[in-house]
Amino acid sequence: MRLMLELEPAGDFAYQEVNPYFTHSLIWNTLKETEFSAMHDQPKFKFFSFSNIWPVGDFKEGEKKNLIISSPILQLIEALFENLPETFKLGTHEFELKLPA
């Protein structure tokens, strides 16, 4: 199962200022209050992965970029979908979540 997200930055900044650690943190913070929160501390495969943010290139305010989160566990993807905030930070940069039409 895959969840495709559109991200809209609130400002202009370099592509390198958002790294995979920030995306990983967003996922775990979103799952924190769900049945999947305990997975974080388990020393085994986490059963999700995510793409790089694309298209590659510097972030520009109002210019949407994409991110895909995948998991073989449908309920994990559903928990992400239901709990993702409308606005969030990746590092120090703010984004607005836009679900593709």
Distances (CA, A) of 68 to 27, 38, 40, 41, 43: 11, 23, 20, 23, 24
Whole-model pTM? 0.91
In this structure, the number of other CB atoms found within 10 A of the CB of residue 26 comes to 22
What local confidence, expressed as pLDDT, does residue 100 receive? 60
Q: Which CATH number fits domain 2-98: 3.30.70.1890, 3.40.50.2000, 3.40.50.300, 1.10.3720.10?
A: 3.30.70.1890
Residue 20's CB: how many other CB atoms inside 10 A? 12
pLDDT by 10-residue block (mean), the chain, 101 residues: 96 97 96 90 84 98 96 97 96 89 59
Every domain of the chain and the residues it spans? 2-98
